[in-house]
Structure 1
Amino acid sequence: MNNFLDPAILFFIFGVLAGFAKSNLEIPQPIARFLSLYLLMALGLKGGFALYESGITSEVLTSLGGAIFMAILVPLLGYLVLSQKLKKLDAAAVAATYGSISAVTFITASQNLDDLGIHYGGHMAAAMALMESPAIIFAIIIANKIRSHHQPESETRPTLGKIFHESFTDGGQLLLLGSMVIGIISGDVAHEVLAPFSIDLFKGILSFFLLDMGLHAARNISELKNKPVICFYYAVLAPITHAIVALVLAKLLGLELGNTILLMVLASSASYIAVPAVLRQALPEVSPALYMGMSLGLTFPLNIIFGIPFYTYLAQQGI
């Protein structure tokens, strides 16, 4: 119940309601872009400061290994399930979307853990960055294999090398990693100086950004009209399934509670920024309405409102 009283969550719900009411309320795109970059920078700094204090431990390496494992497993399982009911290229696109992560869901979950006083490692921000690319690469490989059986490869389609480059140099991901490195190098001195920027402002800016996300979520859910019913079921049930698999993996690896919850959140989330931007070029045969409607219209709001507290409960109970 406390999650519903969180102002950031309430602003998200307010945005959803305003979107359904077809209000003309909107956050200008340049401002929304700045808010997202601020959140990634602040998260990277917080992670860097935490890593400065803890150093590279076995827990850090184990968590990163678990994150990479989930980033490979989720799109593979997703494609195997979805390709039974959807066109293979559509299945590859959706599998990539759900195999990657939502940075805003992760940021909201980390703020929720801060509010609950549950400790987590700053290296989980690095885990988030590592989980972004494998699903994209998987989708491109599958798509190229499918096309090779039907038609010659188009000269305009991006090469795998270009996909690698775009995946690892995406502006948001690069800012996250760069901020983390700066936090590690600068340590306690920068932590004290930047606290008003990276900590004190964080909750308010997150609330403002989630208002914008609520507006987008309400407008994207309409994109699911006339889509195969499996899209609806997958958008609702797959995140829970992925979170439970991540919970089992975290227990096997012996991760602490906070890191377990964040791994579950990462595994359950779906990309609606980085992956769709690449898929529009790499898989032009697939309508963005399919994967955007699923990830931003259904999975994102369900995770923000219900998923995060539910995954936290499961991890606390050790289920």
Structure 2
Amino acid sequence: MQEIVSLAAANLLSPMILSFALGLFAAFARSELTIPEAAAKALSIYLLFAIGFKGGVAVADHGVDLKLITVMAGGVLLSFGLPFVAFGLLRVLTRLSVVDAAATSAHYGSISIVTFVTAISVLTGRGIESEGYMVAVAAAMEAPAIISALWLVSRNGTGTKMDADLWREILLNGSIVLLVGSFLIGAITGQDGMARIESFVVSPFQGVLCLFLLDMGLVAGRGLRGARGLLTPQLFLFGMLMPAVGSAFGLAVALALGLTPGGAALLMTLAASASYIAVPAAMRVALPEADPAIYLTLSLGVTFPFNLAIGIPSYVALSSMMIGA
């Protein structure tokens, strides 16, 4: 417990978390501070490319073997299964409709790439190594949860169909295409490619992440400010309970697969995070009747800051405790 508190305190005082806190403060104080939409999109494009490229280089160094394939399969199974857990909790704890509960559950089966990146930064700061191919696992976990959520809706008789437009949105979502594409570029070019663009994808990364989290703080704060009547205590409880439940499943899979403490912490983070990029875009097409104010406020306004402040330090400490650092 003492290690968790120590990690949480150190994480809260990191430039990334303080940047997010600044955004929250500015939003609640109704400051005019804003990040232009084009600039925010450019920041996200940079982060996705840098993450994917570095992951691809790591896989090129490691090589594609049974361990990599097995870990990716474990991640996909988590992404397929966690929406069922989230859906069950939402139906027990809240009065959400089937459609709103299913749409929300999709976010908690998919992943937040920025939460994942923050966890990598925490591990790096602690000198904890992790499997470089975990970014491939992150990419594989983006879409399966959407399919699970649509099955949940279909099972309850809403008639949602997996048509061509929906499959296109799922498989060709911009964040997925960029992450997978840059991963392939890194895997193909390897260390030679890294040597050419290292000054671009490595050195500026932490600073860009700070600016991106500043924007996320602004977005989350404004969402929370505008959803005061919508965010019931039961929904708020779910937004903090589901990350703990997801991380427990992630830890179980990590132990079964024999991951290192760093790899286990990253898998726990992926299982605990909630999407706010790829899944909302898919839900707009698949379940337009679902209320975005519910699932976006929960994923970005509750679960995202919970993971940054409390979750990630807990996952790092627990993985080290269970596996040994």
TM range (shorter): over 0.9
Unmatched 5+ stretches in structure 1:
none
**Deviations 1:147-198 (CA, angstroms, capped at 9, x unpaired):** 44xxxx5xxx774433222111111111111111111111121111111000
Give the AA of the match of 2:273.
S
State the secondary structure of the residue aligned to 2:253: helix
CA distance in 2, matches of 1:77, 1:238: 9
Question: Quick check: 1:89–1:146 contact (8 Å CA) kept in 2?
Answer: no
2:229 partner amino acid:
K
Aligned to 1:30: 38
Q: TM-score, normalised by structure 1?
A: 0.93
* Aligned pairs (5 A) from 1:169-188: 169-188=172-191
* Pair 1:109 & 2:119 matched: yes
1:247 maps onto 2:255 in alignment: no
Q: Is the 8 A contact 2:83 2:106 kept in 1?
A: yes
Q: Deviations over 1:29-63 (max 9, x none)?
A: 11100100100100011111111111113331222
2:6 paired residue number: none
Task: Select 1:90's aligned residue among 81, 100, 116.
Answer: 100
Give runs of aligned pairs for residues 3-82 of structure 1, distance below 5 A.
3-82=11-90
SS in 2 for 1:308: helix
Contact 2:169 2:285 in 1 (8 A): no
Does the CA-based 8 Å contact 2:89-2:238 persist in structure 1? no
Residue type of the alignment partner of 2:19: F
1:74 touches 1:98 (CA, 8 Å); kept in 2?
yes
Give the match for residue 236 of structure 2: 232
Find the aligned partners of 2:231 and 2:43 in 1 and give their Cα distance. 32
- The count of aligned residue pairs is 312
Give the whole-Å Cα distance in 1 for the aligned partners of 2:167 and 2:144: 9
2:279 is aligned with 1:275: yes
> Alpha carbon RMSD of aligned pairs, Å?
1.7
**Equivalent residue in structure 2 for 1:120, among 130, 148, 170:** 130
Q: Displacement, 1:226?
A: 3.5
Q: Using the alignment, how far apart are the partners of 2:50 and 2:107 within structure 1?
A: 25
Separation of aligned partners in 2, 1:233 and 1:295: 12
Deviates more, 1:221-230 or 1:72-81: 221-230
Shift of 1:109: 1.1
Q: Which moved more, 1:38-47 or 1:8-17?
A: 8-17
Indicate the residue corresponding to 1:304 in structure 2: 308
In the aligned structure 2, how far is the partner of 1:269 from the partner of 1:142? Answer: 20
Whole-angstrom distance in 2 between the partners of 1:240 and 1:61: 26
CA distance in 2 between partners of 1:42 and 1:297 (Å): 25
Which 10-residue stretch deviates more, 219-228 or 29-38? Answer: 219-228
Amino acid at match of 2:213: L
Residues 286-311 of structure 1, C-alpha deviation per residue, up to 9 Å, x if partnerless?
A: 21111111111100011112211111
Residue 224 of structure 1: CA displacement? 4.8
Change (3 A) 1:208 1:81: same
Residue type of the partner of 2:20?
F
Rounded to whole Å, the distance in 2 between the matches of 1:116 and 1:163 is: 41
* Alpha carbons 1:95, 1:139 under 8 Å: kept: yes
In structure 1, the partner of 2:264 is: 260
Distance 2:162 2:73 in 1: 27
Quick one: which amino acid aligns to residue 40 of structure 1?
L
CA distance in 2, matches of 1:242, 1:159: 26
Q: Which residues of 2 match residues 308-319 of structure 1 at below 5 A?
A: 308-318=312-322
Amino acid at match of 1:200: S
For 1:24 and 1:11, locate their aligned partners in 2 and report how far apart those are by CA, in whole Å. 16
Q: What residue number does 2:167 align with? A: 164
Post-superposition Cα deviations, 1:231-261, rounded to whole Å, max 9, x if no partner, equal 1111011101110121122112211111111
TM-score by length of 2: 0.91
Task: List gaps (5 residues or longer) in structure 2.
Answer: 1-8
On the 8 A contact 2:17/2:309 being kept in 1, the answer is: yes
- 137-146 or 292-301: which moved more? 137-146
Of 203, 207, 213 in structure 2, the residue corresponding to residue 204 of structure 1 is 207
| Residues in 2 aligned to 1:167 and 1:224: alpha-carbon distance in whole angstroms | 31
User: What letter is aligned with 1:289?
Assistant: A
- AA partner of residue 167 (structure 2): F
Answer with 97-106 or 221-230: which moved more.
Answer: 221-230
The one-letter code matched in structure 1 to 2:31 is S
SS in 2 for 1:284: coil
